[in-house]
A = this chain, B = another copy of it.
Amino acid sequence: MKLLTERIARDGQALDRDILLVDSFLNHQVDMQLMRQIGDAFAAHFRALGVTRVLTIESSGIAPAGMTALALDVPLVVMKKRTSRITAGTVYQTNVRSFTKNTEYALTVSQKFLFPGERVLFIDDFLAMGEAALGAARLIEEAGSVLCGIGIVIEKTFQPGRKKLEDAGYDVFSLARIRQMDTGRIEFLA
């Protein structure tokens, strides 16, 4: 997606080889016109798959996933990051490690909003190690839903997320693919 790549090149800040700051348009200050275009791009790519709900993770995924759900006219479901496990049997939960932030959380979704027969599109802001998407995939499978696609705003192709997801059989579509980066320098995959 040319518009996104240009925006990352202009306003993104590579702090080191791993951390890309996009807080001026994606996850702290948010450009909703860009989010609308991102949602339209995901919807165009995944529309034929018969998606019945869009799933994402709070809170950076909400804007791009919400615009995708709006474009596809299906519900958005926002998974929560809990610091501790809930023992009541009304949710699906799985532990997810964030390598970028060096934290772990319990990815959580109510059983009311993920259930058999649903065709789920998972949308997230970043793909790096793939842990969040794999966690989402575990919950979707546990619920008896089908994960029919994974849409990523920014993929770090130098990390193994895509390979892990494709090895598990999932279709990954990224709008911007970063080949490598370092302080002040970002290279995209052509």
Given contacts A59-B62, A63-B66, A66-B63, whether A80 and B28 have CB atoms under 8 Å apart is yes
Alpha-carbon gap, A140 to B75, bound state (A): 33
| Chain-B contact segment, one of A32-40, A157-165, A170-178, A180-188 | A32-40
- With an 8 A cutoff between CB atoms, is A10 at the interface? no
For chain A, the count of residues having a C-beta within 8 Å of the partner chain is 29
Residues of the B chain whose Cβ atoms lie less than 8 Å from the Cβ of A29 = 75-78, 110, 112-113
Alpha-carbon gap, A79 to B30, bound state (A): 11
Copies in the complex: 2
Partner of A78, one of B30, B67, B76, B80: B30
Identity of the chain B residue whose Cβ is nearest the Cβ of A57 in the assembled complex: B59
Partner of A76, one of B30, B73, B113: B30
Pairwise interchain contact B28-A66, C-beta atoms closer than 8 A: no
Alpha-carbon gap, A105 to B112, bound state (A): 28
Pairwise interchain contact B113-A77, C-beta atoms closer than 8 A: no
Pairwise interchain contact A28-B59, C-beta atoms closer than 8 A: no
- With an 8 A cutoff between CB atoms, is A128 at the interface? no
State how many angstroms separate the Cβ of A17 from the closest Cβ of chain B.
22
Write the residues of chain A forming the contact surface with B, with a CB cutoff of 8 angstroms: 23-24, 27-33, 35-36, 58-59, 62-63, 66-67, 69-70, 73, 75-78, 80, 109-110, 112-113
